[in-house]
């Protein structure tokens, strides 16, 4: 996409750089995209646009390492993510299509478990603040009794405590959110980019975030 930048990347082995070169993705015998390259530096954001079924989620899953591309490689700080494994996983937060919250647990329990699994040590007060910021009930209400939008908020609350993770990969983060929720999420992403983080998100509507790069899968 930016041929001049490849050279720059080779000098910078230790700064946070996500690059994908020549990616091809095949699903069910159909090629979703091919020869896709992208490059993300601190403070930059990537918007993945496209129609339903165009491979937005597949691309994001390839970028976070959950799926392997049929051709090409994703590199983090110059090393292939397939070799980095947990070392790469520790640098990112991925919020997928499904909310990844347990219906039988409360929002607070879900958030605290998600943080421990991600290797983050977050004090209780910060967890509380994150839930309050997203307007989630602090009492013992299991998430399954909350609405779809609130469940989405319970998942997104992780972003409030993930400031130290440089790479945010968000799959349709704006879906099921109300106007206030969308505003809050936009603020969080803009704050993250301002402190030198990177974000990649899929969306089919205009997110109101001026993305540095846009990949349109058609």
Nearer to another protein (CB atom), residue 9 or residue 115:
115
Position 68 contacts another protein (CB under 8 A): yes
Q: Of 30, 99, 88, whose CA–CA distance to 58 is shortest?
A: 30
User: What is the total count of residues that contact another protein (CB under 8 A)?
Assistant: 30
Nearer to another protein (CB atom), residue 37 or residue 70:
70
Position 142 contacts another protein (CB under 8 A): yes
Position 179 contacts another protein (CB under 8 A): no
Nearer to another protein (CB atom), residue 64 or residue 189:
64
Position 97 contacts another protein (CB under 8 A): yes
Nearer to another protein (CB atom), residue 9 or residue 172:
172
Nearer to another protein (CB atom), residue 45 or residue 99:
99
Interatomic CA distance for residues 69 and 56, integer angstroms = 13
Position 137 contacts another protein (CB under 8 A): no
Cα–Cα distances in Å, from 196 out to 15, 126, 199?
11, 21, 10
Which residues, other chains included, contact 199 with Cβ-Cβ below 8 Å and sequence gap of 6+?
45, 46, 167, 168, 169, 170, 189, 192, 193
Q: In what order do the strands lie in the sheet with 79-80?
A: 30-40, 18-27, 71-76, 79-80
CB-based contact 218:54 (threshold 8 Å): yes
- To another protein, the closest distance from the beta carbon of 5 in angstroms equals 27
Interatomic CA distance for residues 202 and 94, integer angstroms = 12
Site mask for another protein (CB under 8 A), range 100-119, x = bound: xxxxxx---x---xx-xxxx
Q: Which two tokens stand for residue 110?
A: 């879900």
- To another protein, the closest distance from the beta carbon of 135 in angstroms equals 22
- To another protein, the closest distance from the beta carbon of 62 in angstroms equals 10
| DSSP secondary structure, 26-76, as one string | EETTEEEEEEEEEEE-TT-EEEEE--TTSSHHHHHHHHHTSS--SEEEEEE
Q: Which of 26, 43, 66, 176 binds another protein (CB under 8 A)?
A: 66
**Residues in 45-64 that interact with another protein by CB under 8 A:** 64
Interacting residue ranges for another protein, rule: CB under 8 A: 64-68, 85-86, 89-90, 92, 94, 96-105, 109, 113-114, 116-120, 142
């Amino acid at each position: 996409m930016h041929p001049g930048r490849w050279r720059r990347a080779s000098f910078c082995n230790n700064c946070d750089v996500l690059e994908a070169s020549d990616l091809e993705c095949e699903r069910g015998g159909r090629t979703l995209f091919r020869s896709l390259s992208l490059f993300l530096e601190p403070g930059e954001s990537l918007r993945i646009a496209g129609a339903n079924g165009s491979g937005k989620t597949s691309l994001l899953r390839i970028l976070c390492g959950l799926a392997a591309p049929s051709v090409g490689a994703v590199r983090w700080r110059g090393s292939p993510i397939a070799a980095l494994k947990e070392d790469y996983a520790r640098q990112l937060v991925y919020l997928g299509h499904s909310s990844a919250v347990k219906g039988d647990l409360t929002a607070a329990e879900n958030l605290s478990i998600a943080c421990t699994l991600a290797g983050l040590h977050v004090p209780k007060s910060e967890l509380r603040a994150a839930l309050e910021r997203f307007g989630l009930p602090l009492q013992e209400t299991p998430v399954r009794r909350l609405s779809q939008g609130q469940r989405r908020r319970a998942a997104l609350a992780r972003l409030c405590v993930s400031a130290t993770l440089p790479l945010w990969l968000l799959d349709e983060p704006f879906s099921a959110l109300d106007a206030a929720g969308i505003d809050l999420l936009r603020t969080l992403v803009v704050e993250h980019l301002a402190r030198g983080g990177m974000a990649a998100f899929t969306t089919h509507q205009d997110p109101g975030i001026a993305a540095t790069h846009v990949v349109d899968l058609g």
